[in-house]
Chain A
């Protein structure tokens, strides 16, 4: 029986513990002080800087980089946290290559932007390592707000409300707070249990209680919350996953990529985590790349991303695509799954070539079979479990202004709310802005 990477089926222990530890260390190691100084010196302190415009949370990037230049990384961190209390996680997971760093004028000038993300991490890590929480609570207002979901939007909203003197209770359905920061983000971007450390640090503001294992519909209802609290913020994320419409999609070995990623994030021992020898990931977004790269890092011999459209249409940035390629992931484009073959368990996936001629995607009839003992579906998440009575906008909760839903006293933000990209940083911005709107509403 073949061992290691060559072992057939979905098995654990393809790589040694040492190899796994090495594979799952920081993908982008933090900047040392000298590196940070060199990187910071490249910032031009632009007028009305394009990087700030590109940042969903409007962090004053030239200011915080100038503060690093001036040898005050902790002051830089305060500048960041003023706008984005999860600036530490965003520094790790933001697709900066399509946000601030894409807008950087040195990208225009030299094709090499200022390393804003890594500088942000340098600043925020420095402050957080000092164990300080940089904000004080305002005097208590005796108002209380319920936040549903302890993901980035909920945490950002709760922190801002607590800072303004309101009491906050967060209901979180999962055993741990953090949302996708805890269960979704690629493990090689958030090492050393950073998500939980960040939450512990964030909660130092005081005034925030988190009740885990507490979900809407499970003893709590929106009506009840509206009655018991002065305001409600919904940040329930996208709990549902799209189904794969292909023959044989119910065979063993076919599962949702988000579940796989969650397993990796929650694994006590990576060596015990099973992964296929031939993994095929269906989809073209960040989840697909994360799942594919993780599979490879766990020791899968062959990992393929199969995406139904061309590279340019992929949700994952070119940078993320290149990351996958550099880890040995093959990216197949313009193919869609039509059947999963195998005797009980998946053994092969049959993909049909597609064409987008005329605007609509159609199969060409030509197919190819790729060995696949594990198939990970990363074809999008959907809103699930939204309370009755809320107006929807497409598949998401409809909001106006700073996250106001159709129900008075109820706000929503993050992935569950319509508008904005499904990014951590966008969720933080929406949570923060909703908090400011709630605050204005409660104090006038």
Chain B
């Protein structure tokens, strides 16, 4: 059995799965249940400054996007940071940490962008015995309108400044949680590093309106006929998160930075993908909110199983393995030529590949009178759309052509050497091949 023990910034946990700062980690009761279920750590629901806590709406906080059979693919929320008094949260955190010393417990914090506010709360958090803090610079709704959350995360200078204060007044790891509601995520990540952050975590939720009620014309979730954008999360946002994580992992200014991956982690596979793109651990929320804490059993067993199959004995061996393979489009090998191939034994003859290719792509699939679908190599550009729309996993595959074969589409021989756009004759900016 592969060892799933995680050591992120010196914070140990029995596995790399933390529950993200969110509704599931808002109070002692939930967190104890999570730890009993086997979660490696939690990032406690974001704490605000001393004083009367924020209030939440009293109507629906969530909206959803569904796939077939009402499978939840995306969740949107307009809940704010914890609406319970600071003292109550701190007391509970201290109790839980004392009872579960082997689990990671991180305090998420969001207070106004003033040094005094941070200076005031950090010692109190430290007293709880929490293993570290996460700065919530990502929340896109409600708090951002008060100059916190993503309002800070969208200004790299603020990130750097607040991070610096935290490093000054707090002696344990500082993680900066980034918002995706920004053009270039490398900038805030670099700012966090400049401020001394030990790690970044991303992504926080994405500005979103899940739907519009066509009777009332109110956005959903609707509060008394009005709606506001919320934060989007769940399986649907994973590709965005993976891309942003990879940008930070390979950018010069942020390369090598510790990353806690967040965004649609639903199964072990998602976690393995985040880790391979440079994350030291992952944080989960929507999957737990959809299916309950028990999913940790599949998340841990699955990751362990896959690592055993691959011969990896620790998480560290997986971290960043995919990063060298993330490149810019211009460096992709234009001499790599593939063709779609349909396995007739697996084909159920739905014809979706045909419709997709014929109507929207390259007219590279033929249909016979008895519904046999075949790829026309002369037309196939290997776009992969047929693979993507086929309901049968593995029925259509992309097969690489061998060197020396002639691509019937172009009439050209498949060349052995790597060649990309930077040297392509069609590129007006092409550099002369050496």
Contact = CB atoms under 8 A, between A and B. Distances in A.
A41 B69 CA distance: 6
Interface in A137-157: none
A109 B391 contact: yes
Q: Which of A45, A47, A48 has the most CB of B within 10 A?
A: A47
B47 to A, nearest CB: 41
A109 B392 CA distance: 8
Given A41-B68, A41-B69, A48 B367 contact: yes
Nearest to A34: B70
Interface string A235-248: 00000000000000
Interface in A14-62: 37-38, 41-42, 44-50
A47 B349 CA distance: 9
B281 to A, nearest CB: 35
Given A44-B391, A48-B367, A50-B371, A108 B352 contact: no
Contacts of A48: 351, 367, 371
A366 to B, nearest CB: 44
A123 to B, nearest CB: 18
Interface residues of A, number: 15
14 contacts: A38-B69, A42-B68, A44-B391, A45-B352, A46-B349, A47-B354, A49-B351, A50-B349, A50-B371, A105-B349, A105-B350, A106-B348, A109-B348, A109-B391
Given A47-B354, A50-B371, A105 B348 contact: yes
A419 B198 CA distance: 80
A47 B367 CA distance: 10
A50 B391 CA distance: 16
B385 to A, nearest CB: 14
Contacts of B354: 47
A19 B391 CA distance: 45
A307 to B, nearest CB: 33
Closest 10 CB pairs between A and B? A47-B351, A47-B355, A41-B68, A105-B348, A109-B348, A46-B350, A105-B350, A108-B348, A44-B350, A41-B69
B371 A44 contact: no
Contacts of B371: 48, 50
Nearest to A44: B350
A37 B352 CA distance: 21
Contacts of B70: 37-38, 41
A47 B353 CA distance: 9
Contacts of B392: 109
Nearest to B391: A44
Contacts of A49: 351
Contacts of A106: 348
A48 B350 CA distance: 8
Contacts of A44: 350, 352, 391
Given A46-B349, A105-B350, 20 more contacts: A37-B70, A38-B69, A38-B70, A41-B69, A42-B69, A44-B391, A45-B352, A46-B351, A46-B352, A47-B351, A47-B355, A48-B351, A48-B367, A48-B371, A49-B351, A50-B349, A105-B349, A108-B348, A108-B349, A109-B391
A43 to B, nearest CB: 9
A109 B367 CA distance: 19
Interface in B340-366: 348-352, 354-355
Contacts of A42: 68-69
Contacts of B367: 47-48
B70 to A, nearest CB: 7
